Structure 1
Amino acid sequence: MLFVRRVVGAALAVMLVSACTVQGVAGPAAPEPLPPRPREVRLDGVDPCSLLTEAQRAELGLDGRPVFSQAAVALYPGADVPACDIRGFEPRAVTTGISLVTTTGIERYTSAELAAELRPTNVQGFPALVAVPTRFTDYCTVVVDVAPGQLLDVQFATGGRQPSIPQPQLCRDAEAVADAVMTTLLGD
């Protein structure tokens, strides 16, 4: 999954640069400004693998062992990004990645064009965006504005079995994982 995360991060970085025009057609418009966050939740020093309890993982169909990694991600320059990847095997093959970004805020998504459709949402009262890739249909991302210059990045992807999971379902699952992670972060 670390390899997949690096490839997806690199693809999104390329999309940032190339999405402005494709054959003379403007890329997707940036969403409206997001509402203010209710408070700051700093991610510095938090272990991303501690953010989904065993019960939450079971409810989300994530029966694999959480795997911690820390690596550079082109989309979020400045420092290595701590991440936790968790697979699900039954009843379906899926994978989720939880990244704690402490060097880039949600403005990365609101100030640049991506080859993704951006839909505002809220997660546990915090402003968030669902980033639905337009060139790839095997994953979906939810980013949550938790503090100035920091964001929670949750990716949810198909695990490779056929038939593939429809992208709208992957987006709903990414939102569910982001909701569970924020519940843990907030101590609810």
Structure 2
Amino acid sequence: MIYLAAAVVLLGVLCLLNLLLTLGILRRMREQAAPAGGHPGPLFALGPGSSLGEFTAVTTDDEPVSHVTLTGVVGFFSADCEACHDLLPRFVEHARKLGRENVLAVFGGDDEASIQTLTPVARVVVADLGGGAVARAFQNTWTPTLYLIGDDHKVIATGSRMEELPLSNRYDRVAGKGQR
């Protein structure tokens, strides 16, 4: 009888150890899959080939922008996002190459310095990222998020770093090099 009790206790301890190891592995997998900001949801609600939702907005320069007129790179930034501030110089560099008409920056929060940095190289919409018209059209809930939008107004690519977007062909086309 004592051997049976010892076996049950040993089995219980092994099961508990197995459960703890499994939970540790799951936590590690979640940490590695989450973006820098730790957002637990899906990274991009709209993937390549997706159509944009309908929206209209006005930029900081009182220019209208809508789902019908939007092509190029769209970046979502937030004032309280460290990763956004790290991405901003690269975004501005690429925006200069693409031209202001091919870049839209959606900025949530009050960071006048970042908005002033973006305004010369991109059309800027200041909005509440969770409830703004542009964010709803993209189903975007976290930052930084980048989208490359084609001439057909569909998503070509998504990313959270500039290197994740295939921009070299777009540079050539904007500069007139890629035309036949």
User: Scaled by the length of structure 1, what TM-score is found?
Assistant: 0.27
Normalised to the residue count of structure 2, the TM-score between the two structures is 0.28
Q: Which has a greater percent of helix?
A: 2
Larger Rg: 2
